[in-house]
Amino acid sequence: MPAGSSINTTGALTLVVAWGIGGRVHARKVQIGSDVESALRSTADEVTSSLTDGVPYNPDSDQEDATHVTTNRDDLLDTELIGQLKTGSSLPLASDDELRRPLTCYAAVIGSGDDKTVFVRKMNPIRLATKSVLAILITGALTRLETPLFAFEDTFDVIITGDDVFALHQKPFEMLFRDSDAVLAKAGEWVETLTVSLPITTSSRDALLDAVRSNSVYRRKVHSILGRGHLASLTPAAIKSKMSEHGLDPDRLMPGDELDFKPENTRDLLQLLNEDFFTGDFTDAQYAASAKRTRTTAG
């Protein structure tokens, strides 16, 4: 049975737009006519029917040839955005001034009460007459547009149901729900978790925090490391042994049995802890994987 067969695309449809200011998310509904509603619902039906070959979400891997990646609501690090979007028809109407803001995304919210499905597209659907003139052909003559013009695409990036999340496009999903300002505010919690689990030099903890806040690749690696469940079993001796095995210098990366996350060490240490290093089977060359996916072996 296709994955999308359980997704509800019937019921009332509300168009919602959202934007961020100062780390907070704001959302408004937009009044639409029946023809626009029909077009959005048709796109929702089409993307739902395309969900045939999904793989579990992993911040360490990419989508490759899968139609989508799957996860659950608990993996949405930015819960404020989805909370705003799911408010749906209860949101205030957007004003013209609000529609002129740099919008983060738009969403078709289908259903009511707890039975809502949210189809999200990470793009600003508004086209404004600012530096360049926007005009439309009406009754044979070009008329300058003075109000916002909406332009929707024939796809969505993320579908969110009651408990499940289907990301048709992994990068926009991560940018919306795992790399937002609300998520960055939690960076201190992740670093604190690492310092509880691993011996890290006091002097480099702030450097690690800055790296996680400023670098999305490092954030994904920290998410992956924290979710792998192997930190509790690591000892300084085991870590140093793996450093030497992969051609790294333990004296530089782990002086005094403490990991030193100064800027020039951060990439090597995160790759090591995330098990990104491997050796070629036939050449003994050392490699670092930029993305990887777990695989099962024949028993």
Give residue-wise pLDDT tens across range 96-112: 889 888 899 999 999 98
Beta bridge partners of 93: 29
3-state class (DSSP) for residue 216: helix
Domain boundary pick from 144, 164, 183: 183
Q: Tell whether the torsion through CA atoms of 138, 143, 147 and 152 is positive or negative.
A: positive
Domain boundary pick from 183, 213, 245: 183
Q: Is residue 298 assigned to a domain?
A: no
- CA-CA distance, 126 to 294, in Å (whole number)? 40
Angle (CA) 109 115 118, round 5°: 25
- Residues 147, 101 within the same domain: yes
- Residues 141, 77 within the same domain: yes
- Residues 86, 22 within the same domain: yes
C-alpha closest to that of 81 among 8, 178, 188: 178
- CA-CA distance, 169 to 192, in Å (whole number)? 31
- Residues 170, 195 within the same domain: no
How many domains is the chain built from?
2
Give the pLDDT confidence of 141-185 residue by residue, as tens digits: 555 555 667 889 999 999 999 888 999 998 899 888 877 777 777
- Residues 136, 78 within the same domain: yes
Residue 129 has what pLDDT? 47
- Residues 10, 53 within the same domain: yes
**Single pTM value for the model:** 0.76
Q: Is residue 222 assigned to a domain?
A: yes
Domain boundary pick from 129, 152, 183: 183
| Structural domain range at position 195 | 187-288
- Residues 39, 130 within the same domain: yes
Q: Is residue 271 assigned to a domain?
A: yes
- CA-CA distance, 183 to 39, in Å (whole number)? 33
Q: Is residue 299 assigned to a domain?
A: no
- Residues 178, 191 within the same domain: no
- CA-CA distance, 152 to 123, in Å (whole number)? 9
Residues of the chain with pLDDT under 50: 1, 129-138
Give the pLDDT confidence of 21-43 residue by residue, as tens digits: 877 889 999 999 999 999 999 99
- Residues 176, 198 within the same domain: no
Q: Tell whether the torsion through CA atoms of 216, 252, 205 and 242 is positive or negative.
A: positive
N-terminal to C-terminal alpha carbon distance within the chain: 27
- Residues 218, 157 within the same domain: no
